[in-house]
Amino acid sequence: MMHAVDSRPAPAQAPQATPPKPAKRVRSRGQRDAGVAWLLSLPTLLILIAMLGYPLYRMIVLSFQNMRLRELFSGATPPWAGVDQYTKALTDSVFWGVVARTAGFTVVSVTLSVLAGLGIALLMRRVTRGVRLFMMIAMMFVWALPQLVAAQAFRWLTDSDFGVLNYVLTQLGLDYDTHSWFVNPWEGWAVITALVVWAGIPFLAISLSAGLTQVPKELLEAATVDGANPWQSLRNITLPILKPLLMIVTTLSVIWNFGLFTQNWALRDGHPEPVYQTLATYSYTQAFGRSIYSYGSAISVITVLLMLGVMVFYIRQMFKIGEVD
């Protein structure tokens, strides 16, 4: 008797699941990069702490004391005053006028500097290589010029008796013979702002010109083919790509211009009138001009706190750019 044989293949058995291996703790690339960045920055941070940490600590302590000439010459510990110096500053209308003047100057000068720097950077991308090289050398010369020397040059240009500016305007038919540019505060601040903007343009123009090299030419050419005008290409392509760099250079300009001291101090011959006082010169005048050392220290601490807010924003932008890269 013959038996039928089932020729159908046996069903395949499901493969046994491999037990998962224990996950290893592996640091991400970002964490490793952050660790390396902090390690490389450590020497610089230690130097900054050594050079700036102790003076800043002494200034903060002094702002809570009442340092007078008696303590200065005798070496005695000044009496503790608590927050009296800060209360005096924060309730003083003159102090708030100086704050408003400093902030207004910063906004105007930074806006003009960034716009002029961006305009020159765009111009540098359109001129020939030789002209671009000449522009960069000229701007580097301006950037390397000491602030005091530049201030003295502007002081000579605007001199009421022998100034070149008055001579040129007089030759053009305007009545500017023996005209003093610092009698009217608006004109005086215009001279100070022009000096600061002139000195700040090289850094901005060269930095933004380097940033413009990162804008793909293919995008600009495609936008032109699609019918976009230069303004539309600038607004929709160039500026978005330059935005991180623009934020950095603008923040740096705010920090530098907010601490204005040398320019208005030199242009006013070391004795700036109240209308030309900024936070930096005001704190110096109070501390060393009137010998109110603790009050001047309190004003300096407030200035540092105001600038720290801008510096935190700057550092955040730097970290954001690092994360994108």
Q: What is the mean pLDDT of each successive set of 10 residues along the chain, which is 325 residues long? A: 47 51 53 76 82 86 89 84 92 94 95 95 90 92 91 92 91 89 94 95 93 86 82 86 89 91 91 93 92 92 87 72 56
Question: What pLDDT is attached to residue 315?
Answer: 74
Question: What pLDDT is attached to residue 278?
Answer: 94
Which residues does 201 contact at the CB level (< 8 Å), separation at least 6? Answer: 113, 116, 117, 120, 139, 142
Q: Do the beta carbons of residue 95 and residue 299 sit within 8 Å?
A: yes
DSSP 3-state of 135: helix
Question: What pLDDT is attached to residue 188?
Answer: 94
Question: What pLDDT is attached to residue 104?
Answer: 95
- Which backbone phi and psi does 224 adopt, to 5 degrees? -65, -40
Question: What pLDDT is attached to residue 322?
Answer: 57
d(CA 254, CA 107) in angstroms, rounded, equals 8
* 276 DSSP assignment: G
CA-CA distances (angstroms) from residue 22 to 19, 198, 249?
A: 9, 63, 48
Which residues does 163 contact at the CB level (< 8 Å), separation at least 6? Answer: 156, 157
Q: Where are the beta strands (DSSP E) in 173-226?
A: none
Question: What pLDDT is attached to residue 238?
Answer: 87
Question: What pLDDT is attached to residue 263?
Answer: 92
Which residues, listed in sequence order, are joined to residue 65 by a DSSP beta bridge?
80
- Which backbone phi and psi does 9 adopt, to 5 degrees? -65, 145
d(CA 65, CA 96) in angstroms, rounded, equals 22
Amino acid at 189: W
Question: What pLDDT is attached to residue 13?
Answer: 53
- Return the structure tokens found at 52: 């700036």
- Return the structure tokens found at 149: 């020397």
d(CA 252, CA 310) in angstroms, rounded, equals 9
d(CA 15, CA 73) in angstroms, rounded, equals 90
d(CA 255, CA 11) in angstroms, rounded, equals 76
d(CA 299, CA 116) in angstroms, rounded, equals 32
Question: What pLDDT is attached to residue 316?
Answer: 74
* Cα radius of gyration (the chain): 31
d(CA 214, CA 201) in angstroms, rounded, equals 20
Q: At CA 155, angle to CA 200 and CA 207, rounded to 5?
A: 10
Amino acid at 117: G
